[in-house]
Amino acid sequence: MTKITLTNVSVEIPVFDISSSSVRQMLLKKAVGGRIGSSGSHAIIDALQNVTLELNDGDRVGLIGRNGSGKTTLLRVMSKVYPPTQGEIEITGQISAMFNTTLGMSMDASGLENIRNCGMLWGLTSDQTENSIEEISEFSELGEYLAMPVRTYSAGMKMRLAFAIATALNPEILLLDEVIGVGDPSFFQKAFARIKGLIDTSRILVIASHSQPIIRQICNKAVWLQDGSLIEFGEVDHVLAAYQDKQAAV
């Protein structure tokens, strides 16, 4: 049984290198993203404010919102990387996350070495990792390239490898941050199919994306974030409609 519960979660991110007040003034006027406050010598970005959310088995949730609205921050809170400044979280289930197309891979190491390193970092046993190599090789269509250093790969190849690793062995909670964009259309379909195959009634998927078609295809629920606050959470069509109305009104 998987579950993600956030209760009144707020995240404040300090920014220390703002020394001149003129820079601070300029930032206060900026159009994108979270609120900025100030505390003595440094600026604070209120990346998330009072977010309360509960996700259960079978939820496939799309995160939508403008750049800087808090999607990445929310994903990081869910992956336990960002401890909330306030509020509480409770997460049950084994987490696999892919927040950038390189997944923390080492560029000079070969694809194979990276699979083993990542497998270990993500909590797989070495047996599990070895068993998944063939499947990763086939899914990513990298084949012999796996013996070459990752820095020789194209951006798309890196993403395919990272995605294959992140989804290997059916994680209970899968968190994706706007990463599917880089692949070519045929990989897109494969990735879709993979995600759909992964998500059965006992798992949670959270995916941040600017693409509403992607969210409509994959997700059954959606979360709309704006300036760090949760505006809407509910059925995907309902939330997307509300979001589109707001966009049209602007």
Pairing state of beta strands 35-39 and 42-56?
Answer: antiparallel
Question: One symbol per residue from 39 to 78: x for binding other proteins (CB under 8 A), - otherwise; what is it?
Answer: -------------x-x---------------------x--
Query: Least CB distance from residue 107 to other proteins, whole Å?
Result: 9
Tell me the one-letter amino acid at 72: T
Question: One symbol per residue from 92 to 121: x for binding other proteins (CB under 8 A), - otherwise; what is it?
Answer: ---x-xxxx-xxx-x-xx---x--xx--xx
Span from 9-17, 26-34, 188-196, 204-212 in contact with other proteins (CB under 8 A): 9-17
**Which positions ≥6 away from 229 have C-beta within 8 Å?**
48, 49, 50, 51, 70
3-class DSSP assignment, residue 215: helix
- Count other Cβ atoms within 10 Å, centred on residue 246: 13
Under rule CB under 8 A, residue 90 binds other proteins: yes
3-class DSSP assignment, residue 121: helix
Under rule CB under 8 A, residue 91 binds other proteins: yes
Region of 81 on the Ramachandran plot (φ > 0 left; ψ -120 to 50 alpha; else beta):
alpha
Span from 19-27, 31-39, 79-87, 132-140 in contact with other proteins (CB under 8 A): 79-87
Show the tokens assigned to 146: 């796996």
Query: Least CB distance from residue 92 to other proteins, whole Å?
Result: 9
The size of the interface with other proteins (CB under 8 A), counted in residues, is 37
Q: Which of 64, 65, 122, 205 binds other proteins (CB under 8 A)?
A: 122
Query: Least CB distance from residue 13 to other proteins, whole Å?
Result: 5
Pairing state of beta strands 60-64 and 221-226?
Answer: parallel
Q: How many CA atoms lie within 13 A of 195 on its CB side?
A: 26
Q: With respect to other proteins, which residue has the nearer C-beta, 89 or 141?
A: 89
Q: Please answer whether residues 46 and 14 qualify as being in contact, where contact means their C-beta atoms are separated by less than 8 angstroms.
A: no
Under rule CB under 8 A, residue 13 binds other proteins: yes
Under rule CB under 8 A, residue 163 binds other proteins: no
Please give the Cα distance from 222 to 59 (Å, whole number): 9
Nearest Cα to Cα of residue 146 among 105, 103, 113, 111: 111
Binding residues vs other proteins (CB under 8 A) = 5, 7, 12-14, 16, 52, 54, 76, 79-83, 88-91, 95, 97-100, 102-104, 106, 108-109, 113, 116-117, 120-122, 126, 233
